[in-house]
Chains A and B, each alone.
Chain A
Amino acid sequence: MKNPLNRDDFEFYLEQEVNQHRMYPSDKIWRNIQQDIHGYKKWPALTVITLFVISALVVGTVLIKPQKQTITASAAKTAAEKADDSAAKLLPPPENAQEHFSAEHITQQTIARVKQEQDIDITDNIGNALSAYNNGFNTIMPAENIAAIADNTITDNNTVSTAGNNVASPAPQAQAANVVAAGATAQKAVAKKDGQPAKAAQPGFNWLTMMPNADISLNGQSVLLPNSSKLAGKKTNTFMFSLFGKRDNVPYAGLSLDNSFTQPIRRPFTLKPKSHRFDFSFYAAPSISYRSLSYGKQASANRTYISGLPYNANYTVDLGRTIHNKPAAGYEVGAALGYKLNDVLTIRGGFQFNMRDYDIEAYKRVNTYSNLVPGNTPLGGIDVSNQSSASLNGNDKTTLQNRYYQLSAPISLDARVWHNGRFAAGVEGSVQPTYIFDKDPFIITSDYKSYTDGSKLVRNWNLNTGFATYLSYTTGQFKWRLGPQFRYQALSTLSGDYPIKEHLFDYGVKIGFVKTF
């Protein structure tokens, strides 16, 4: 080093001037330094969220299995098997005359199975009717015969014409109420007569009901049924029905004839609906984050408790005018499993990741020691940098960024308030215990002149509440949702030692889907 005494005035002047000059590096420099020395320490948020979403989808689709379907199918028998069905397992005859019935199952096995599994209080006289004739009357016909019957016209005084589908039929007689025009109408008539709610005809089934005392003929010929010659010319004072169609893609038909049929059908055959109790939802919500500042109890305590301190430690200012915040964009991603309590309410629980961000307008100036409250005050124990990185009043504007990463476990209640077809609307409220990590905010010092690092004052755990409304559209098992949401942080970001309370709130648009199982 050169002898300082040999410096001339110009060099002295230069040194004096340049040593007053300060420049503030960008945040990127510090991050690069840290990354070089300590490695990449940022929370791999995107990776974690992706893994979480994938895991949730796997759990939701693989482990939660749909309920077993209730069985309503008849046996998928071959034509030969159908032809060999006997009346060995016949049901007892019905007690009362029934003018109309809508039973669809043909075989006794099917009847018994449906009864067991559907818990339907229905009696069927098919087998009994057949056994009455003891003709080995088959209840199952080959498909080609079905077509033959369907294509032909059964003529009689009160016959019904068929064209392979449910058709209208005149019912002039007094028992018209019992004569049905078509499958759907018949079933409704039956249902109304029995006081049961109307049911639509089962899809894929064609059936007709004939008036009593009808000649059973088919184009003047015997009905094309096994042993049909025995039916030719016979009249019946009960109803004969013919049922043909397909169940589970197995063509079958049935024919019942009973002169003493008295057993009423107590209840139409219905299927128990599948229960969709569980669902899985996934959502994302871009949002704008704001914050509100207010004085907590510590501020009052400071003013009354402290004595002998500089004046500027004992006043409070208008925070809204002193601290200039700018909202910034954030986002939310989450998944949840739901349980449907009833048609309206669903309760959900899951996991959610939030990033909240807002900016603070500040100014750069020459470093000075911030005027913090020392000693035995509530703020005295806080380890805060005594060299501010930015201040309120200075020459160069700068923007300080406060960003929080949060992981929550929201518990929500979803109420569907309206639905019409595929569209529905609802509201959802949630409570979200939240863990905050990767926090490094700027906080204002007690003299309101500087900002400093407040990471040690930030609570690790907080509580957020959320409220959202949505409009949904259903496609298959998916319900797509869109709607606004509001999220509010109930507890202050900073611990009770700090006199200023900060509450964050977000406004966002929630987009997601719900898949039912």
Chain B
Amino acid sequence: MQNDPVAQRELYNRYSPKMLSVCYRFAQSREDAEDMLQEGFIRIFTQIHTFQNKGAFEGWIRRIIVHTCINFLKKYKKFNDSIDLGYAEYLQVKEETVPSIMQAKQVVECIRLLPVGYKTVLNLYAIEGYNHKEIADMLDIEESTSRSQYTRAKTMLEGILIKKKILEKPGETELTWATAFKK
């Protein structure tokens, strides 16, 4: 695989769309996301001999991509950016013919609206499945900081999703989260 461009191309074609989505959730822009993806796949191809066939290959790739994203954010000091929550109201939503994809894209865009620190912790905890201790080690923060960041991120994201009418407020319609996102 390391020296086989055809096999590498196969692997890249199979996983790059999903991994780019992962990078996009961490990045500030598509260009940053593509840079993260590029760095990530270079690491994957050069370290592929270290994969020990324990666990899913996709999971292994995803971990490398996530670590690459974190390193990228640290390297370019992206954690200081912040964004006004009100911006979420001006988020343009395209008309799509496939509602499921539309909603997924909207959710991803809403996650990207969060401040860098919030969305990083949210991505790592809620989606990638890292615990707060691991997140603290990765981001060089305290575990308590990770927890508080996540709580604020979650609250902010809920607010954005409700404002965008992607989710309904549980209190107003007497719906629980369990029913709110049922399609």
Contacts and interface: CB of A to CB of B under 8 A. Distances in A.
Whether chains A and B associate is yes
Contact of B34 (A13, A18, A19, A25): A25
A38 to B, nearest CB: 6
A395 B38 contact: no
A38 B21 contact: no
Interface stretch (B41-49, B76-84, B85-93, B136-144): B41-49
Contacts of B13: 385, 387, 389
B160 interface: no
In this complex, the interface size class of chain A, counting residues with CB under 8 Å from chain B, is 35 or more
Interface in A1-60: 1-2, 4, 7-11, 13-26, 28-30, 32-34, 36-38
B171 interface: no
Contact of B37 (A10, A14, A29, A387): A29
A454 to B, nearest CB: 13
B107 A18 contact: yes
Given A20-B100, A23-B17, A36-B42, A15 B125 contact: no
B92 to A, nearest CB: 15
In this complex, the interface size class of chain B, counting residues with CB under 8 Å from chain A, is 35 or more
A2 B131 contact: yes
Given A18-B21, A22-B18, A387-B13, A366 B42 contact: no
B97 A395 contact: yes
Contacts of B42: 33, 36-37
A275 interface: no
Nearest to B31: A26
Nearest to A11: B126
Contacts of A389: 13
Interface in A363-386: 366-367, 385
Contacts, number: 114
B14 A10 contact: no
A15 B177 contact: no
Contacts of B105: 21
B88 to A, nearest CB: 16
B163 interface: no
Contacts of A20: 100-101, 104
Contacts of B38: 29, 32-33, 36
A10 B104 contact: no
A62 to B, nearest CB: 42
A14 B127 CA distance: 7
Contact of A13 (B46, B125, B129, B181): B181
A1 to B, nearest CB: 5
B137 to A, nearest CB: 13
19 contacts: A1-B130, A1-B134, A8-B177, A10-B154, A14-B127, A14-B157, A16-B181, A18-B25, A18-B108, A23-B33, A25-B16, A29-B16, A29-B38, A29-B41, A33-B12, A33-B41, A34-B5, A37-B45, A366-B101
Interface of B: 5, 8-10, 12-14, 16-18, 20-21, 24-25, 30, 33-34, 37-38, 41-42, 45-46, 96-98, 100-101, 103-105, 107-108, 111, 125-127, 129-132, 134, 154, 157-158, 176-178, 180-181
4 A-B pairs with the lowest CB-CB distances in the bound complex, closest first: A22-B17, A2-B131, A9-B177, A20-B104
Given A23-B17, A33-B12, A389-B13, 6 more contacts: A14-B107, A15-B126, A23-B21, A29-B38, A387-B13, A395-B98
